[in-house]
Amino acid sequence: MAVNSLRILLCEEAARHEVGHLWQPEEFLLESEVPGKTAEWAENWEQTAPTLSYDFVGVLLSKWREVARLESLEREVLLLKDRVAELERSTPVCVPIETFAPEPYKVVKPFHVVVQTRADEYVASFFDANLSASGPTETEAIFNLKDVILGVLESLTEHDKAELGPGPAKQLRVLKKFVEKTA
């Protein structure tokens, strides 16, 4: 009977302090409810109950603040993890090109291409020559760019200098600096 009264009182206090949703009776088993223990109540428990309930609400509030803070930190950590993963994925990667084997072309001077993610794909670019190609993986994007470089070089060398506009003329000048046909 005494335990029930105290519980009702605590529930009312919890509701008054708007922390009723945190009231978890099983977490706050009174000693008398622990199997094998006997309740020992002071005779004046009814006078001390309000103080006890006040302390109890204080504990609940501090626990609630701690939980809220931890949840907030957890959310921030998850956001940061996503952000780091996104940055790792989207950071441009610089890759040296040193060979066109097995194609009959050689690299006169090694050069770098940049691989970036775009939508669900990787785009490899040789900016100096304004040439790019994409692929489902970084490796494929680079292989595709090498293919485009050779394809464009072949096409450009088939033209007279006078037949090339400013863009393709610059591409040819750049490509000739770095790539040469071997056979």
Partner 1 sequence: MPIITKELALRIAKKLKADVKKRPGKAHDIALVYHEGKLVANFGIRRGSKKNLGHDYIPNQLYIRPRQARLLGECPLLREDWITIMAEKGML
Tell me how far, at minimum, the Cβ of 26 lies from partner 1, in Å: 51
What's CA 115's distance to the chain center, in Å? 20
How far is Cα 9 from Cα 7, in angstroms, rounded to an integer? 5
Nearer of residues 53 and 171 to partner 1, judged by Cβ: 171
Tell me if the bond preceding 102 is cis, omega within 30° of 0. Answer: yes
Nearer to partner 1, 57 or 152 (CB): 152
Q: CB under 8 Å, gap of 24 or more: what pairs does 155-163 form?
A: none
CB–CB of 183/104 below 8 Å? yes
Nearby residues of 38 by Cβ (< 8 Å), 6 or more positions away: 32
Q: Tell me the closest approach of the beta carbon of residue 97 to partner 1, in angstroms.
A: 16
Least Å distance between CB 16 and partner 1?
55
Stretch that binds partner 1, among 16-24, 25-33, 67-75, 166-174 (CB under 8 A): 166-174
Residue 92 CB, shortest distance to partner 1, in Å, is 14
- Residue 156 in the binding site for partner 1 (CB under 8 A): yes
Residue 144 engages partner 1 in binding (rule: CB under 8 A): yes
